[in-house]
Chain A
């Protein structure tokens, strides 16, 4: 005890390092996640940060609107053009609808049962997010009270964001898909028979390979989840950036540009 009193700094340092090492070791062995205590902390931080964030967002939106008038004007013009284009496409879809109705009546005659998969979505705001780190883990303001559970897929308007790692009442911790070394099965939008596997890469993006060496995958192809594994089918992952044939593994390796900008997320939806 006397030695500890005389060497306070070293003693405290050793104790702190021991405690943190044990916590880190247990957490790694458990594969992340926490317990009741971490849930209380997350709930508290989520409530406080959520309040701050809503104020911050309101101020930021108003202030940035004043300084980016020209940018907003250009955005309005772009959206007007897009609106016109979509109106044209809608008119064409109207024609296709007649074909669809004919098919539906035909399926009723033939007693064909079609079960459409629908996602049950819970929309949520990001209550706390940190921009100083390279990882993209954040907290949202919905949790178990909305039926969210660990492992649920998280998306936004652009595509797949990640999965819920931990959840509690009023909060959920989300880990982005580029921050995990787990495999995601995908298929090409152009040809849904061509399957592959991707995962987070060392370069902060997504990389993987095609299952079939004769795949016709090319740069710019859009990839979506295949439905195998934890992620539901048909969620956009991103665009194929590069395709390289690896003569050692005899596989076509690809790198993918994620559809989602992880640093500028504001709203997400959880697929239950």
Chain B
């Protein structure tokens, strides 16, 4: 994928995240689209720079708009991307179950890292409170990750069900 296309996808996700996404919120919970893109891009593309660069840039934009301190979301997205790049070396990216496992692990890592950094920045909420809020956002996010994965896997691996291809 070309970098400008990836940048456009992140920009659209960021704008939707801040406005239109609230229309499908349940009790105020919405999926984290930036995290979804970082997870799928880092898992599917061998060039791991997508998740790191765009995670950092758009995470920082997110922090400017929605965080009391600058940097926690950006650093958490980069950390999540790095963990996925390591896991990617040992996982079959064509298997959707692997995508789900990576998505679940990524959610916990992202929220743990961002919570830790926010805590340093003076946020009083505990990690148990964060975990309590995770299921709805997590389920939503995994659903979105699955949708993006199913679209992009066709472009990443042509004829992926044809075993002779490889």
Contacts and interface: CB of A to CB of B under 8 A. Distances in A.
Contacts of B18: 45, 49, 52, 128-130
A17 interface: yes
Contact of B133 (A13, A134, A200): A134
B92 interface: no
B32 A133 contact: yes
Contact of B56 (A16, A173, A175): A16
Interface residues of B, number: 61
Contact of A202 (B22, B66, B125): B125
Nearest to B36: A132
A56 B24 CA distance: 10
A179 interface: yes
Contact of A16 (B16, B52, B85, B140): B52
Contact of B68 (A8, A41, A132, A175): A175
B98 interface: no
Contacts, number: 179
Given A13-B82, A137-B66, A263-B27, A199 B124 contact: yes
Given A131-B21, A263-B27, A263-B28, A20 B75 contact: yes
Size category of the A interface is 35 or more
B68 A135 contact: yes
B153 to A, nearest CB: 22
B72 to A, nearest CB: 7
Contact of B60 (A23, A31, A130): A23
A138 B62 CA distance: 11
Nearest to B29: A131
Most B CB within 10 A of own CB, among A53, A59, A132, A173 = A132
A27 B32 contact: no
Secondary structure class of chain A's binding surface, majority of residues: helix
Contacts of B115: 134
B28 A179 contact: no
A23 B61 contact: no
Interface string B103-135: 000000001001101101111111011101100
B70 A24 contact: yes
B7 interface: no
B96 interface: no
A131 B15 contact: no
Interface of A: 8-9, 12-13, 16-17, 19-21, 23-24, 26-28, 31-32, 34, 38, 41-42, 45, 48-53, 55-56, 59-60, 128-135, 137-139, 165, 173, 175, 178-181, 199-204, 263-264
Given A41-B64, A135-B68, 14 more contacts: A12-B53, A13-B82, A16-B52, A20-B74, A27-B70, A38-B70, A45-B61, A51-B19, A53-B19, A56-B19, A135-B125, A180-B122, A200-B125, A263-B28
- CB-based closest 9 A-B pairs: A263-B28, A24-B71, A202-B126, A52-B19, A132-B32, A131-B30, A27-B70, A200-B124, A128-B18
29 contacts: A9-B85, A13-B78, A20-B74, A21-B71, A21-B75, A23-B74, A24-B70, A24-B117, A27-B69, A27-B71, A28-B69, A32-B69, A41-B65, A45-B15, A48-B19, A53-B22, A60-B23, A129-B18, A130-B17, A130-B30, A132-B30, A132-B35, A135-B66, A135-B68, A139-B66, A179-B125, A200-B123, A202-B124, A204-B132
